[in-house]
Amino acid sequence: TGIEAFVRGLPKTDLHMHIEGSIEPQLMLDLAARNGLKLRWDTAEALRGAYRFQNLQSFLDLYFEGCKVLVTERDFHDVTRAYLRRAHEDGVIRAELFIGPQSFTERGTPIEALMSGVLGAMEEARREHGMSLGLMISVHRHRTEPDAMAVLDQVMPWKDHIIGIGMGGAEVGNPPSKFARFFQAARDRGFRTTVHAGEEGPAAYVREALDLLQVDRIDHGNACLADHDLVRELAAQRVPLTVCPLSNLRLKVVSSMREHPLKALMAHGLHVTVNSDDPPYFDGYVTENLLACRDALGLSTEEIVGLVRNGVEAAFVTEEERQALL
Ligand code: ADE
Ligand code: ZN
């Protein structure tokens, strides 16, 4: 339709996506075969059929199972290249990609293989598609703070190729405060920071992210709406929220798209961006996320353009790079 082509054609950002959450089902089967691994599913349709989740944990279980197919440098290259090609076709001009090394190094994959594969594919996409790209290292909040510190040490040889540090995983019971020293260390080493907060967790976790971790952005952030003082501060400081509407729907953070808080967040003057998170698992890249919000919440064309522009403003780029993207 007209609006679909319009949204796809808009130059967009994807600031919250996980490389290991971007493996399309057929590629997962191909990588498993290449590595001599047997999956619980034989066909892409059967695998896609398993993408039905009750909550964040039920998704994480499958997501970490899927991580097993990424073993060699070539695997990391191929999955990154596939996402970037698809995102480019979707009209994404700036993508910031998370990868969580712990899922792979714990099984013996050298950090060098992971970094070389991902960074090589990013360099190709810059060259071939003219995309603006940044890599972010994400740690697991359900593991310990010393584990996270070890990841930070491991990736320091690639410091100049990493724009930021983030954290995901099982949120409830693993508050931001558990990682206060880790985020301080990340900031001390010159990294931008962001953290998943207020996805399944309460507004208090978003508060901790802001006050204790002093992050530059919040990933998701939905739950902030329960705390009016917090909303006021987030709006005043223009802290970007990287919201992922279809992720929220599929993980039952919201019971329907009509109940998604996107418009409420916007109405409070928050710096809202729309992102894909783990596109195949949640059945949508950035365009589908924007269109789902438009259909359910009645976003105007101006509101869609505003959300897309917010993404460019929230990107971890220099002012010069930002002007080039606008
Ligand atoms: N890792 C990948 N996607 C995630 C999400 N939505 N929440 C927490 N951790 C994640
Ligand atoms: Zn995420």
pLDDT tens string 64-109? 999 999 999 999 999 999 999 999 999 999 999 999 999 999 999 9
Instruction: Note whether residue 50 is domain-resident.
Output: yes
Residues assigned a catalytic role: 199
Q: Which of 15, 57, 63 to mutate to test the pocket of ligand 1 (most atoms within 8 A of CB)?
A: 63
Q: Using a 6 Å cutoff on CB, does residue 21 contact ligand 1? A: yes
129 among annotated binding-site residues: no
The domain total for the chain is 1
Instruction: Note whether residue 80 is domain-resident.
Output: yes
Instruction: Note whether residue 280 is domain-resident.
Output: yes
Q: Using a 6 Å cutoff on CB, does residue 288 contact ligand 1? A: no
Starting from the CA of residue 275, give the closest ligand.
2
pLDDT in tens, the chain (326 residues): 899 999 999 999 999 999 999 999 999 999 999 999 999 999 999 999 999 999 999 999 999 999 999 999 999 999 999 999 999 999 999 999 999 999 999 999 999 999 999 999 999 999 999 999 999 999 999 999 999 999 999 999 999 999 999 999 999 999 999 999 999 999 999 999 999 999 999 999 999 999 999 999 999 999 999 999 999 999 999 999 999 999 999 999 999 999 999 999 999 999 999 999 999 999 999 999 999 999 999 999 999 999 999 999 999 999 999 999 99
Do 222 and 249 touch, CB atoms closer than 8 A? Answer: no
Starting from the CA of residue 197, give the closest ligand.
1
Q: Which residues of 115-138 are buried (b: 16+ CB within 10 A; e: fewer)?
A: bbbbbbbbebbeeebebbbbbbbb
Do 268 and 225 touch, CB atoms closer than 8 A? Answer: yes
Q: Which atom of ligand 1 is nearest to the CA of 169?
A: 9
Instruction: Note whether residue 216 is domain-resident.
Output: yes
Instruction: Note whether residue 323 is domain-resident.
Output: no
DSSP 218-280: EEE-GGGGG-HHHHHHHHHTT-EEEE-HHHHHHTTSSSSGGG-THHHHHHTT-EEEE--BSHH
Instruction: Note whether residue 46 is domain-resident.
Output: yes
Q: Which amino acid is at 129?
A: H
18 among annotated binding-site residues: yes
Q: Using a 6 Å cutoff on CB, does residue 101 contact ligand 1? A: no
**Ligand 1 centre and the CA of 277: distance in Å?**
7
Q: Using a 6 Å cutoff on CB, does residue 168 contact ligand 1? A: yes
Q: Which helix (H) or strand (E) holds 83?
A: helix 73-89
Instruction: Note whether residue 64 is domain-resident.
Output: yes
Q: Which of 53, 59, 222 to mutate to test the pocket of ligand 1 (most atoms within 8 A of CB)?
A: 59
User: Which CATH number do you get for residue 223?
Assistant: 3.20.20.140
Q: What is the spatial distance between Cα 278 and Cα 14, in angstroms, rounded to a whole number?
A: 11
Instruction: Note whether residue 326 is domain-resident.
Output: no
* ipTM > 0.90, yes or no: yes
Q: Using a 6 Å cutoff on CB, does residue 166 contact ligand 1? A: no
The Cβ of residue 37 has, within 10 Å, a number of other Cβ atoms equal to 13
Q: Report the predicted TM-score, pTM, of the whole model to 2 decimal places.
A: 0.99
Q: 193 - beta bridge partners?
A: 165
pLDDT tens string 195-220? 999 999 999 999 999 999 999 999 99
The Cβ of residue 20 has, within 10 Å, a number of other Cβ atoms equal to 23
Range of the domain at 203: 2-315
Do 19 and 118 touch, CB atoms closer than 8 A? Answer: yes
Q: 99 - beta bridge partners?
A: 137
